[in-house]
Chains A and B, each alone.
Chain A
Amino acid sequence: AANWDQVLQNIYHFYLKKTPQRTRLVDAFLLFLAVVGALQFLYCILAGNYPFNAFLSGFCATVGQFVLTVSLRIQTTEANKSDFPAVSPERAFADFVVCSLILHFFCVNFIN
């Protein structure tokens, strides 16, 4: 158990030390999305899923936005630079914007 504590502590320290300001901002957004998604899911469990398309589009919006933001985070992280020779941070952000727009178009269309 002590070992496990240490692992968590190490991860925490690593995070504080290695993460730049901008990425932390992205992480805050990710946390927000996760909370929103969890709340929606909880509500769906408690109150039933009657307008199922509304639940789906809300939940899919958070999940989709979450993975898109994670993708943005991955592409803008310095350590992953070698994985994406063709993607500059600006390009990554533009891709993110386009994909988010498509996602929201679909969600708004699906929620009726």
Chain B
Amino acid sequence: MTADAPPLLAGVNSTSTRTLLRVAILCLIAAAAIASRLFSVILDPWFNFRATKYLVANGVYKFWDWFDDRTWHPLGRVTGGTLYPGLMVTSGVIYHALRAVAVPVDIRNICVLLAPAFSGLTAYAAYLLTNEMTTSPSAGLLAAVFMGIAPGYISRSVAGSYDNEAIAIFLLVFTFYLWIKALKLGSMLWGALCALFYGYMVASWGGYAFITCLLPLHAFVLICMGRYSTRLYVSYTTWYALGTLASMQIPFVGFLPVKTSEHMPALGMRTSYHAPWVAVTNVAMTGIFGFLQLVGFIQYVRSAVSGRQFQTFLATAVVGTFGIGLMGLVALTSLGYIAPWGGRFYSLWDTNYAKIHIPIIASVSEHQPPAWPAFFFDLSMLIWLFPAGIYLCYRDLRDEHVFIIVYGLFGSYFAGVMVRLMLTLTPIVCVASAIAVSQLLDTYMSTKSPNPDEVERAAEAAPKKAAKSAGLRGSEKPTVGIFSLIPKAGVVGSLTVYLLMFVSHCTWVTSNAYSSPSVVLASRMPDGSQHIIDDYREAYQWLRQNTKEDAKIMSWWDYGYQIGGMADRPTLVDNNTWNNTHIATVGKAMSSSEEVSYPIMRQHEVDYVLVVFGGLLGYSGDDINKFLWMVRIAEGIWPDEVKEREFFTTRGEYRVDGEATDTMKNSLMYKMSYYNYHSMFPAGQATDRVRGVRLPDKGPVLDTIEEAFTSENWIIRIYKVKDLDNVGRDHAAAAAFERGQKKKKATKKRGARVLRVE
């Protein structure tokens, strides 16, 4: 600052003031990110919570080899080896840290508030990542704002959604930041940090394959563009060597990074669907690793010998390597060490594969491709700023911009295939849009206007320069400058309006679409007051208090975790769908007649059966609507005994009223759902509000099970499986006798009997 003319804004513009402003803004962003996730606070993913409770109560070692005998009865589940422990360990560490500073907080509160807390960190990570991409001072802050409140990310991280994604997105963004940093500096230390956070990510979420896919791809694209540098070598090899070892430490991942899918042990449905992914990405990772060694060596030789000789060397080396590589590949394949690519590889690109071959994957609604409105709904104005940001990256194509472009392409494709991958797209959309917006703001908010005379002179000089420079025309930067205040005010004003609209859109979406707990249903009374429907908790509480400690509950797998968490009773199947046959068994029991399903339930020691029925209230997510998936999954295993066709009328309709097929009417699910239902209504008026049909006056009859509990709004119905008959009759005969359906005249005629064998 010179003494004669201290500028008016000198104090405001100094570095320390800017730092203060930055810190204040980041704190506010974190606060906004947390606050916008608190519209409804209720714990949802019950299994993670249960596992965390176990961890906190028993310590890490017991958690590591925890055999859970209260799920998947009678199989049990080796929990320590079949989950990603990152989430539970994180909240356990926080719990003990808070204890250590004498703030004893209940573990449940930590689990509920973990996702909002980490979303603040995600916003900060997005800030760091964007600052690596551009020199603009505003881009990082804009990216942090976008990341903090974008609904695409909020949808998975509202308070109480204690799911792996809660911490995984932070780790994803932060790993990418460390990778970019390592690449720019060519530093081993940053590479090692990247590997450590990659290891943490592997411990937290199955989506780590996304990173293993993206970083090699980035490196490969850089090499193909002729941008190989020693920095790339150092950062990639450090990351690969340490990261691969780090990922193998997780029991659930194990040897996956070095084996192909075909060699994978039968870990179950979900993993085997992802296994081709993991295999492909790992092959890519190793391939790029080897390729980098080769390129590094060739670069060294280039500096050693003259140009002519180098060409000879290069030709020989390339031919030699490919020859040896090809021979090795053929030899290993013929010896059976590497399985040839089967149909699974194809399934990556054929999005219909799961629907045809693995119904249980297709039955989850998150695995469907999204429609266009979903993109606008989740990302609002970011979705049209995103391509502009990508374009700006092309104009100034540095190594880290290649990363944005690669990530953008990849993320968009996969978000287009599967709804839930919108989550991995959101970070890059935020970063790219922040670059676009900050470019606009930097151009239009500058108070300096160019001098018209100088611009004219520059324009005269320009053609000469353009003739000399031989680069891409797109990479030339025109002299940008706005001469008058009016366009500046106009553009900045409209941009501000858009940003404000973005905030209000995000808040609206979050409060209306993404903040509804699935356990408690809310409905509005005619006068606008809220009415809470709490049948789930009512029923689970009943189970907890009125059944014996080890009563086995059979229900469809959607409710397995909730029953385990809230009712604390053993279940047959749950949301971790690792054993398809067991799920199909439950599906068969639900979709068969009582004579078939009673032995199945006896064999599995089922005490209670729980069904969800929304017919009285119009709650559409009930078991009758999911029934066809049960049938399909059961049909996949027993095509002779369960047939989907038989649940449709001759005209191909799926009906539940008087026209329903006999198979449908005799199925256990139908009987359990509609048992006694007609007695709620005056004669002839029994209606199912979900299907919108009139039901017959005579309800179904249950022989082998009896109603034990029905919740207030009939949403949850629990039935008790009867014991064997005391005098050895089958249940149908015993029940018929009880009802007094015996013939008036005792016929003397002898029935057809078989010889007693004894």
Which of A's residues lie within 8 Å of B, judged by CB? 3-4, 6-7, 10-11, 14-15, 18, 52-53, 56-57, 60, 63-64, 67-68, 70-72, 74-75, 79-80, 83-84, 86-87, 92, 94-96, 98-99, 102-103, 106-107, 109-110
Contact = CB atoms under 8 A, between A and B. Distances in A.
B185 A87 contact: yes
B122 interface: no
A33 B255 CA distance: 23
Contacts of A109: 249
Given A3-B309, A103-B242, A106-B245, A71 B304 contact: no
A57 B255 CA distance: 11
* Chain B interface, DSSP helix/strand/loop, else mixed: helix
B192 A71 contact: no
B305 A11 contact: yes
Contact of B312 (A3, A63, A99): A3
Nearest to B313: A7
B736 interface: no
A92 B246 CA distance: 22
Given A6-B309, A86-B185, A102-B195, 18 more contacts: A7-B312, A10-B306, A10-B309, A11-B301, A53-B255, A60-B244, A67-B240, A71-B238, A74-B296, A75-B186, A79-B303, A84-B230, A87-B187, A95-B189, A95-B192, A99-B192, A99-B238, A102-B196
Given A95-B187, A106-B246, A7 B241 contact: no
Interface in B466-504: none
Contacts of B238: 67-68, 71, 99
Contacts of B245: 57, 60, 64, 103, 106-107, 110
A interface: dominant SS = helix
- Most chain B C-beta atoms within 10 Å of own C-beta, residue among A15, A57, A63, A79: A63
B617 interface: no
Given A52-B255, A60-B241, A60-B245, A4 B316 contact: yes
Q: Which 4 A-B pairs have the closest CB atoms?
A: A64-B241, A67-B237, A14-B304, A95-B188
A60 B237 CA distance: 12
B248 A56 contact: yes
Which bracket fits the contact residues of B? Answer: 35 or more
Contacts of A57: 245
Interface in B300-329: 301, 303-306, 309-310, 312-313, 316
A43 B246 CA distance: 25
Contact of B237 (A53, A71, A110): A71
Interface in B601-627: none
6 contacts: A56-B258, A74-B234, A86-B187, A94-B189, A102-B195, A103-B245
B231 interface: yes
Q: Which of A3, A75, A79, A102 has the most CB of B within 10 A?
A: A102
Contact of A68 (B196, B241, B305): B241
A110 to B, nearest CB: 6
A92 B188 contact: yes
A60 B312 CA distance: 33
B327 to A, nearest CB: 16
Contact of A84 (B186, B248, B293): B186
B687 to A, nearest CB: 62
B287 to A, nearest CB: 15
B330 to A, nearest CB: 17
A49 B254 CA distance: 15
B229 interface: yes
B233 interface: yes
Contacts of A96: 188
B682 to A, nearest CB: 70
Contacts of B255: 52-53, 56
Given A56-B255, A68-B238, A83 B231 contact: yes
B230 A74 contact: yes
A6 B244 CA distance: 40
Contacts of A98: 188-189, 192
Contact of A71 (B195, B229, B234, B248): B234
A53 B229 CA distance: 33
Interface in B188-236: 188-189, 191-192, 195-196, 229-231, 233-234
Interface in B139-188: 185-188
Most chain-A CB neighbours within 10 Å: which of B187, B192, B241, B304?
Answer: B241
B242 A64 contact: yes
B201 to A, nearest CB: 15
Contacts of A15: 304
B304 A110 contact: no
Nearest to A92: B188
B206 to A, nearest CB: 21
| Most interface-central of A4, A10, A11, A71 (chain B CB within 10 A) | A71
Contacts of B313: 4, 7
A67 B241 contact: yes
Contacts of B316: 4
A63 B292 CA distance: 14
B192 A102 contact: yes
B248 A63 contact: no
A70 B296 contact: yes
B187 A80 contact: no
A57 B310 CA distance: 37
B371 to A, nearest CB: 44
A87 B186 contact: yes
Contacts of B192: 95, 98-99, 102
Contacts of A74: 230, 233-234, 296
A107 B248 CA distance: 10
B233 A102 contact: no
Nearest to A85: B185
Contacts of B230: 74-75, 80, 83-84
A56 B255 CA distance: 9
A35 B626 CA distance: 60
Interface string B349-384: 000000000000000000000000000000000000
Interface in B246-277: 246, 248-249, 255, 258
A6 B313 CA distance: 10
Contacts of B187: 84, 86-87, 95
Nearest to B248: A110
A23 B92 CA distance: 47
A64 B234 CA distance: 12
B303 A7 contact: no
Given A11-B301, A95-B189, A99-B188, A4 B244 contact: no
Contact of A10 (B188, B191, B304): B304
A110 B301 CA distance: 36
